[in-house]
Structures are given as structure tokens and as C-alpha cells.
Amino acid sequence: MYTLIVYDVEEKKVAKVNKFLKTYLNWVQNSVFEGELTDAQLNRIISWIKAHLDLEIDSVMIYTARSEKWLSKKIIGVEKNSTNNIL
């Protein structure tokens, strides 16, 4: 499914979270990743987040759409990073 992940975590964890999410998704903006995931991949990401972040302090929002056709995307200003799966 098409997935968008937006996180807000303590500064010291940002590099670790980015490095992990880059193995599954495309980085599109400061603290935002997107791309196509299988259910198994999404479950792996959720498990990693629960294991490595402080759920009392950090926050991760995961939006999923069954198909990327159901989402449209517009960028105004700088495109921080283009994805292979541009919407």
C-alpha cells in the first residue's frame, strides 16, 4: 500500500530514524518519507518504531492509501527530494 510517514522525535534520534526509514521508503521532506510498502514491511517498521522510540515523547504518524492513485500530491516551492514513485 502507498504509505506516508511523518515523524516528530527527539533531535538525537533523527539520524537513526532517517537511516532506518530510508531502507524502506523515499525521503521527501524534513521528517517525511513516502513509498509503496507491503503489509509485512509496514509491520516491520511499526515494530522497529515501538522498539527504538520513546512512545511517551516521540510521535510517528503513518498514513496509508490502498493505492497511490487515491492520493494526489502537489509541491509548492522547493522539492526537497524527488521520489521514484512520484504521485
Binding site for Mg(2+): which residues?
8
Contact 62, 4 (CB under 8 A): yes
49-73: b or e for each residue (b if 16 or more CB lie within 10 Å)?
beeebeeeeeebeeeeeeebeeeee
CB of 36 to its own copies, least distance (A): 15
Contacting positions for its own copies (CB under 8 A): 4, 6, 8, 28-32, 46, 49-50, 53-66, 70-80, 87
CB of 20 to its own copies, least distance (A): 13
Closest CB to its own copies among residues 56, 84: 56
Please report, in range form, the residues annotated as the binding site.
Answer: 8
CB of 25 to its own copies, least distance (A): 14
Q: Which residue has the cell 537513526?
A: 16
69: which DSSP letter?
G
Position 81, amino acid:
N
Closest CB to its own copies among residues 23, 46: 46
